[in-house]
Amino acid sequence: MRRFICPALVVLSAVFTSGCVFNIGGTVGRCCPDKAPPAAPKPEYQRAVEAVYPALVRLEVVRPEFRSGREVRGQTSGSGVIISPEGHIVTNHHVAGRATQVVAVLPDKEEVRARRIGTDPMTDICVLKLEGDRTYPYARWGDSSEVKVGDTVLAMGSPGALSQSVTAGIASNVDLVLPDFYRRVWVDDEDVGALVKWIAHDAAIFPGNSGGPLVNLEGEIVGINEIGLGLGAAIPANLARQVVDEILRRGQPERSQIGIVVQPMLEGLGRRSGVFVGGVLPDSPAEQGGLLPGDIILSYAGQSVTVRFAEDLPDLNRLIAATPVGDRVRVVVERDGEQKTLTLRTQLREPARAEQRELTHWGMAARDITETRARWMRRESTDGAVVTSLRSGGPAATAKPAISSGDIIIAVNGHPITSTQDLIRYTNRIVEGQDEQVPVLVDFERGRQRWLTLVKVGVEDLPTRVPEVRRAWLQASTQVLTADLAEALDLEGVTGVRLTEIFDGGNADRAGLQVGDIVTAVEGEAVRAVRPEDDDVFPAMIRRLRVGAEAAFSVIRDGEEKEIAVELVRSPMAPREMERFRRMDFGFSARDISEEDMRRRRLEEDAAGPVITDIESGSLAEVGGLRSGDIVLRIDGRPVPTIAELKNIMADIEAEEPDRLVFFVRRGIITVFVEMETPWTEDEEGT
């Protein structure tokens, strides 16, 4: 679509942006008559930028996503800030908390790999560490409790995955909470707002700023940017630093819970102090300690508590969470006008959601049942594996009755399933050494019902390629001589095919056929091809003849008719007939080079190596940069001349379980190295 720009607007634009005199309707004026040059950066801004900018990093992240029963890789980016000379980075959990690969781009454009130390979805904080034994520039923490509304703040990060940048604004709100009618901030099924009261600010932030620091004019980190709501919102530095310290000390924060639902004080109660208990979870410390809905908590562990407004809830939640796990806590409540002292024993608060795992042999993804999830499901146990998604046409989806998302697998062949890992281990025992899928009896829960089904587990091999009978073949390519084309060539009424390619050194070449020849008959039989869809008429005529026979071709060349004898050869194996090798865990399929590949791609006669035929979306191969059509020459330095050798090498690699593989491939007229993760890559927290 062409855009129309009014010439007058162009002129006016030029005038108004040039600072020149202008004349409109007889009125003379001057645009920006005394326009000053751009002001120099404010010194206080500059000091803050110089203190933090060298520690600002852009994070390029690969993380798993689960779709249709498959684990695929997604690529994203975010921001972070180095907080120690050893290279520790703080960022958001939603940026790198589930990453399998992280590369940090430093301000000088150097790229350094980073590994995850620990992560906390409840506060959306993640800690990484740069690889290598060296010293890095780092930024210092500030006291976020000293930030006041109206204070100048700087937001630093990498918006839109671009280079590090800085924007300025003011603190707009220092205890921002999101009301229930607004969108909540959920990360891995955790309500971040249960613990976090954000610092809101109007410094411009965009996607990609997540995890970057909010900085005061002293050059100190006072927040970690997390969300944009028109206003930006940052996790206060005091909370972020506390979480970071716990991660560095023990790998992840440890929090207590007592199992209550609290809400701001009801107006009708006429109270200005205390905490109103809206609900008590079954079998929780609160229920066991005698706490009841409607109670008003006056103090917790000797500390007076009050929740009058939504802004007060995170303070109470943090107080309870900070109690040592297993401590006996005195809670003073008011019930029916009387005060009572109860004793509760806190318990560990586990994550709300377990990580998903792909079960290739089942064609599905599943996760464990956490204590929190079990309580909401009113289950007495966390045993089992919850199905989260299924691959269409996979073993679980085609069982009768089929397994569905949300079902809980509790037993296989009578073997109790306690977790997703247990299901994976037991499945591996079943399919080990099996060339075909193995039927297993599956016991699963669907709501309050218990079902049985039969599932054929195992990876279904690619369909066996049955070679076609090798028949007679002309080593040339053709196009149908349509009526319009014949008329244009002054051959009106003639039917046949036109030769478009003669294969070098082939039987057509040796017989003297040429590009442009019109073949009208073979062995005296007319070639009755007149429409584009008749493209198989001529090859079918050739296939009916005997391999090795000398066939007479009637051709028209430059208006003259000729008779040319051609010795027919046996047709080669077509690419569709060739054996394919598939690695579902890497997400690629391959086959040997065919004669058609050699011809179409003009490869050398000694060209060798498997051709990549398919790359699955989101797979390790795709994320690593392998492409369909690549010819694999070497893997980790080992030559790969054939598909058989590719199988052997991949089997050896599976036994070795390296973290990364390097494929050396031919791509068109160039060669490239492709590095990819492996399914065995570990990025354990605390390792």
DSSP letter for each residue of 180-231: TTSPP-EETTEEGGGT--EEEE-S---TT-TTPEEE-TTSEEEEEEEEEESE
- Please report which confidence band the pLDDT of residue 16 belongs to, taking 50, 70 and 90 as the band edges: very low
Rounded CA gap, 281 and 278, in Å?
10
Candidate from 35-39, 269-273, 595-599 with smallest mean pLDDT: 35-39
533 three-class SS = helix
Give the integer Cα–Cα distance in Å for 233 and 126: 17
Q: Model confidence at 23, in pLDDT bands (50, 70, 90)?
A: very low
Residue 681 CA from chain centroid, whole number:
16
Could you tell me which of 228, 121, 132 has the C-alpha nearest to residue 176? 228
Query: What was the pLDDT predicted at 40?
Result: 56
Q: DSSP class of residue 306?
A: B
Largest interatomic CA distance in the chain: 117
The whole-angstrom separation of Cα 423 and Cα 569 is: 55
Model pLDDT, residue 29: 36
Mean of the per-residue pLDDT values for the chain? 89
Q: Give the C-alpha separation, 144 to 118, whole Å.
A: 23
Task: Inform me whether the pLDDT recorded for 670 exceeds 80.
Answer: yes
The average pLDDT across 650-655 equals: 92
Residues 413-435, mean pLDDT to the nearest whole number: 94
Q: Are 630 and 642 within 8 A, CB to CB?
A: no
**pLDDT over threshold 60, residue 677:** yes
DSSP string covering 253-284: ---EE--EEEEPPPGGG--SSBEEEEEE-TTS
DSSP assignment of 161-177 equals G-S-EEEEEEEEEEEE-
Closest by CA to 564, choosing from 546, 545, 550, 543, is 550
pLDDT tens-place string over residues 286-312:
999 999 999 999 999 999 999 988 899
- The β-bridge relationship of strands 328-335 and 338-345 is antiparallel
- pLDDT tops 50 at residue 631: yes
Query: What's the burial of 230, exposed, middle or buried (CB within 10 Å: 0-12/13-18/19+)?
Result: exposed
In this structure, is the dihedral angle defined by the CA atoms of residues 482, 487, 489 and 490, taken in order, positive or negative? Answer: positive
pLDDT for res 465 = 59
* Residue 39 banded pLDDT, cuts 50, 70, 90: low
Specify the range with the lowest mean pLDDT, choosing from 31-40, 72-81, 129-138, 457-466.
31-40
CB 201 within 8 A of CB 232: yes
The b-or-e profile of 364-377 (16+ CB within 10 A means b, else e) is bbbbbbbebbbbee
> Which residue's structure tokens are 């500059």?
46
Residue whose C-alpha is closest to residue 253's, from 356, 189, 328, 322:
322
Q: Where are the alpha helices (DSSP H) in 413-506?
A: 420-431, 483-488
> What integer is the mean pLDDT of 110-127?
96
What is the band of 463 on the pLDDT scale with cuts at 50, 70, 90?
low
Q: Which residue type, as a one-letter code, is found at position 119? A: T
pLDDT of residue 536 exceeding 80, the answer is yes
- Answer yes or no: is pLDDT of 41 > 60: no
User: CA-CA distance, 171 to 200, in Å (whole number)?
Assistant: 6
Tally the C-alpha atoms within 13 A of residue 457's C-alpha that lie toward its C-beta.
22
- Which tokens is 600 given? 């179409």
Mean pLDDT of 358-368: 95
Give φ, ψ of 531 to 5 degrees. -120, 155
CA distances from 409 to 174, 382, 458, 519 (A): 47, 12, 17, 66
Distances (CA, A) of 34 to 11, 17, 23, 28, 37: 21, 13, 18, 16, 10
Nearest to 586 by CA among 541, 633, 618, 553: 618
Range of lowest pLDDT (149-163, 212-226, 457-471): 457-471
Q: How is residue 629 written in tokens?
A: 């059509």
As annotated, the active-site residues are: 94, 124, 210
Binning pLDDT at 50, 70 and 90, where does residue 371 land?
confident
**pLDDT of 32 over the 50 cut:** no
Question: By the 8 A CB rule, do 462 and 580 touch?
Answer: yes
Q: For the residues 460-485, what does the mean pLDDT come to?
A: 81
pLDDT of residue 21: 33
Start-end of H helices in 525-637: 537-543, 595-600, 620-624
Query: Contact 92/211 with Cβ under 8 angstroms?
Result: yes
CB 518 within 8 A of CB 556: yes
The one-letter code for the residue type at 422 is D
Residue carrying the six token digits 């039917």: 495
pLDDT at 130 over 50: yes
Give pLDDT tens digits for 173-201: 999 998 776 767 889 889 999 999 999 99
Q: What is the pLDDT, as a whole number, of residue 596? A: 85
Domains observed in the chain: 1-35 (no CATH), 57-130 (2.40.10.10), 256-348 (2.30.42.10), 356-457 (2.30.42.10), 472-570 (2.30.42.10), 575-677 (2.30.42.10)
The arithmetic mean of pLDDT across residues 495-519, rounded, is: 95
Query: If you ran DSSP here, which 8-state letter would residue 123 be given?
Result: T
